[in-house]
């Protein structure tokens, strides 16, 4: 409980100036909180390091946070999981998307859970509150790319995979 609350506070602080890409520009922290809700309350995940990694999953990629900083506060395992789900910032956007497909099969069990929850939440957001200015083709491309990533890591999280398949069936 102590670490969980610390992770919520840490993520809220790190993402405090960021907004989501939807029309309403929702606070960014809604996104990691949504992942945790999916993991714990929809999929029954109860591994605390997985839950904390989900809260922190975008901090290295999108804020000034380092893996060392996460390791100091939350341990080496959580830091390793967050690194696993962090895109290589040195690559262009298309290469980063391809890399997610290519690396999916190499992810740890915990990183697979975080990746599944991330894609579930992002697809739900594309349907329910799409990014401002996205034409339907872009929404469809996003769905198809997410499915390619998830198809590469199946077999360890049946409940999360079923939740992903549920939202994928709503492809625009």
Catalytic residues: 61-62
Number of residues that bind Zn ion (CB under 5 A): 2
Nearer to Zn ion among residue 58 and residue 84 (C-beta): 58
Q: Does 118 bind Zn ion (CB under 5 A)?
A: yes
Nearer to Zn ion among residue 28 and residue 74 (C-beta): 28
> For residue 19, what are the β-bridge partners?
27
Contacts 24+ apart (CB under 8 A), 86-93: 86/57, 86/60, 86/61, 87/61, 89/61
Binding part of the chain for Zn ion, among 19-27, 38-46, 58-66, 95-103 by CB under 5 A, reads: 58-66
Minimum gap (Å) between residue 51 Cβ and Zn ion: 14
Tell me the C-alpha distance between 10 and 81, whole Å: 16
> For residue 49, what are the β-bridge partners?
none
Q: Which of 118, 113, 170 is nearest to 146 (CA)?
A: 118
Nearer to Zn ion among residue 118 and residue 161 (C-beta): 118
Minimum gap (Å) between residue 31 Cβ and Zn ion: 6
Q: Is 93 exposed, middle or buried (0-12, 13-18, 19+ CB in 10 A)?
A: exposed
Q: Does 125 bind Zn ion (CB under 5 A)?
A: no
Binding part of the chain for Zn ion, among 4-12, 47-55, 110-118, 150-158 by CB under 5 A, reads: 110-118
Q: Which of 120, 131, 129 is nearest to 166 (CA)?
A: 120
Which residue is nearest to Zn ion, using beta carbons? 118
Minimum gap (Å) between residue 18 Cβ and Zn ion: 11
Minimum gap (Å) between residue 62 Cβ and Zn ion: 8
The answer to whether 157 touches 116, Cβ cutoff 8 Å, is yes
Binding mask 15-54 for Zn ion (x = CB under 5 A): ----------------------------------------
Helix (H) or strand (E) run with residue 168 in it: helix 158-168
Question: What residues make contact with Zn ion under the rule CB under 5 A?
Answer: 58, 118
């Amino acid at each position: 409980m102590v670490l969980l609350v610390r992770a919520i506070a840490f993520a809220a602080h790190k993402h405090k100036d960021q907004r989501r890409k939807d029309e309403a520009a929702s606070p960014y922290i809604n996104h990691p909180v949504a992942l945790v809700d999916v993991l714990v309350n929809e999929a029954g995940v109860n591994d605390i390091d997985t839950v904390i990694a989900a809260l922190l999953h975008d901090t290295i990629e999108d804020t000034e946070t380092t893996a060392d900083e996460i390791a100091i506060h939350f341990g080496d395992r959580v830091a390793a999981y967050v690194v696993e789900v962090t895109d290589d910032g040195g690559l262009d956007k298309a290469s980063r998307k391809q890399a997610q497909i290519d690396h999916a099969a190499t992810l740890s069990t915990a990183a697979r859970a975080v990746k599944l929850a991330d894609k579930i939440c992002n697809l739900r957001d594309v349907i329910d509150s799409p990014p401002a200015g996205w034409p339907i083709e872009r929404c469809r491309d996003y769905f198809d790319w997410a499915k390619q990533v998830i198809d590469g890591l199946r077999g360890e999280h049946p409940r999360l995979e079923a939740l992903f398949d549920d939202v994928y069936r709503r492809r625009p």
